[in-house]
Structure 1
Amino acid sequence: MTDTTSTPKNRYADALRAADFTIDQDWASYSTAEHDRWDRLFRRQRDVTKGRACQTALNAMATLELSASGIPDMDNLSDRLEAITGWRIVPVAELVPDEVFFNHLANRRFPAGAFIRPEAEFDYLQEPDIFHDIFGHVPMLANPVFADFMEAYGKGGQRAMQLGQLHNLARLYWYTVEFGLIREASGLRIYGAGILSSPNETVFALEADSPNRNAFDLPRVMRTKYIIDDFQQTYFVIDSFEALLEACYKDFGSVYADVKGMPDFEPHEISLGDDILHRGTLAYFHKRKAGL
């Protein structure tokens, strides 16, 4: 969440920022090539997520009129989203400081990167661009329960900073908002934005034998490290968005007290108390470590 480093590929690097770090998207300034890049990213990921994304996300993409017809205008998209759950999308140049991020979420504003990845990084980009943020995050904000969870997370972030427990809360965001799986009647499905916006991880998270898939447990998640630059070694599975909200819609003070001082789990580690839905082989990660 905290990283205000600009890179040459980000054409918003020198954009005028308001006090809350928002900028003018200046939608008319996107080039034909940038709109075409969005269209190709959208078509590819729309096809990959069929039968893999949760029904909530798929339905919301239609309701919000996300399509392969150029980069969305955030103001127009916000008007459609606000009518459903009261959320708006605000453009930013890059990742914003934690306190700014939490304040936006607590007030039902999602800060989305306005730049689109360069062609050279079409398949993978480490920092979130407009495709990751809009395709991955925004559809879930059209779900009233998940929208409430995100607002609660923003308010919880402000509290976590005061208590010095931000690292624990960040893990909750990572393993739910970014890389969460959900059980549906038809099987496991994806709702995390980091998976939804990645063609390779969309397949890997659901179908590969390599990663662990565990039932969601709040203290366990808060004690689990994560991988930033590769597929996840463990995914956590929720039963419903209502169950996620119920588990997290509270003051985390007692939870922080319970996990404080407890050892962290490595991303691949299995604990005796885990509800394991699939014990991974970790074959992919062993090969990576061996340089194969």
Structure 2
Amino acid sequence: MNQPYHSYTPADHGMWQRLFERQMEILPHIASEAYLSGVDKVGFVADHIPNFDEDTNPRLRKLTGWEVYVVPGLIPHQEFYQHLANRQFPASTWLRKPEQLDYLEEPDMFHDTFGHVPLLSNQAFCDFMADLSKVALRFIDDEVALQRLSRLYWYTVEFGMIRENGQLKIYGGGIISSPGESKYCMRNDVPKLDFSVSELLDTPYHIDRYQKHYFVIDSYSQLYGSVAEIGQILEREATKTAVH
């Protein structure tokens, strides 16, 4: 499936510009340095939707060996994790309409692309996603393990925060692409918890509201280094279940 780039209308490019400029007014002060530098590295600009085949993917392949892989929308777990394990980031190509400006039932291209793709220029983060997906594929028939892994993915890739130079920054694509949550998560009265694999795996999330709390990593290397512990915990639990 290819990105129907030439089917985008001036209104579509205008919506991308509106969303892009709105977020870039906020993000330079609160987003991770890796994300902000990634916006330039992958060639994202305000005045047109990114062209995956002609611009985005050639850049990503040179940077980290990744690429954006077009999907029609939400896809099954196995397909999703298989793409990530193959260093392909699944992204939809449809863009929200004006009446959907601030609320969508499922992620559109702006969330998938603007929210996530710039950080695919960071090798440690990319390696984390690929190796985490390989763990998920080992447990693809274990619904409990997959649910726990989805929590970890949610609180990192989608809604993660990071300490950089003594300051809290955001890197999760769900926050990055949301003007409301970008501001909300930085409030002093919103709890920020230290990154803990065991706690993340045990913490449910809700998809229809802002997060009650956020988990904070110290570096993308720390995130990548956590994959071994994730696998070990799930292996121990699977062994206990088999015994009982």
Interval of TM-score (by shorter of Structure 1 and Structure 2):
over 0.9
Contact 1:88–1:109, Cα closer than 8 Å, also in 2: yes
Letter of the 2:67 counterpart:
R
Match of 2:20 in 1: 42
Q: In the superposition, relative to structure 1, how do residues 250 and 162 fare at CA in structure 2: closer, same or farther (>3 Å)?
A: farther
Question: 1:63-105: per-residue Cα shift (whole Å, max 9, x none)?
Answer: 1111102111111201111110000001111111111001100
- Alpha-carbon distance in 1 for matches of 2:170, 2:105: 20
Counterpart of 1:148 (choices 121, 127, 130) is 127
The reply on whether 1:55 has 2:38 as its aligned counterpart is no
> Rg bigger for which structure?
1
Deviates more, 1:247-256 or 1:52-61: 247-256
Q: Is the 8 A contact 1:223 1:259 kept in 2?
A: no
Partner residue of 2:114 out of 114, 132, 135 = 135
For the pair 1:172 / 2:152, whether they are aligned, the reply is yes
Query: 1:137 deviation in Å?
Result: 0.5
Contact in 2 for aligned 1:157/1:169 (Cα 8 Å): yes
Q: Which residue, 47, 52, 77 being the options, matches 1:69?
A: 47
**Which residue is equivalent to 1:183?**
163
> Which residue number corresponds to residue 66 of structure 2?
87
RMSD: 1.7
| CA distance, structure 1, for counterparts of residue 239 and residue 174 of structure 2 | 27
Gaps of 5+ in 2: none
Aligned residue for 2:87? 108
Q: Does 1:203 align with 2:174?
A: no
Give the fraction of aligned pairs with identical amino acids, expressed as a percent. 40
Q: Contact conserved, 2:162 with 2:170, CA < 8 A, in 1?
A: yes
For 2:230 and 2:205, the matched residues in 1 are separated by 24
Residue 236 of structure 1 corresponds to which residue in structure 2?
215
**Secondary structure of the corresponding residue to residue 30 of structure 2:** coil
The answer for unaligned runs of 5 or more in structure 1 is 1-22, 262-292
1:101-121 CA-partner distances (Å, limit 9, x unpaired): 011000000010110011101
Q: How much does 1:130 deviate?
A: 0.6
Q: Report the secondary structure of 2:14's partner residue.
A: helix
- Report the AA paired with residue 24 of structure 2: R
Q: CA deviation at 1:255?
A: 4.0
> Kindly tell me: are residues 42 and 161 of structure 1, through their superposed partners in 2, closer, same or farther at Cα, counting changes over 3 Å?
same
Q: Secondary structure at the match of 1:214?
A: strand
**Paired residue secondary structure (1:195):** helix
CA distance, structure 1, for counterparts of residue 157 and residue 81 of structure 2: 14
What TM-score do you get using the length of structure 2 for normalisation? Answer: 0.93
1:118 aligns with 97
Aligned residues: 238
1:33, 1:260 → 2: CA distance? Answer: 54
Structure 2 residue aligned with 1:9: none
Q: Give a deviation string over 1:3-54, Cα, whole Å, max 9, x none.
A: xxxxxxxxxxxxxxxxxxxx22110001110110001100000111111000
Say if 2:197 and 2:229, in contact at 8 Å, map to a contact too: no
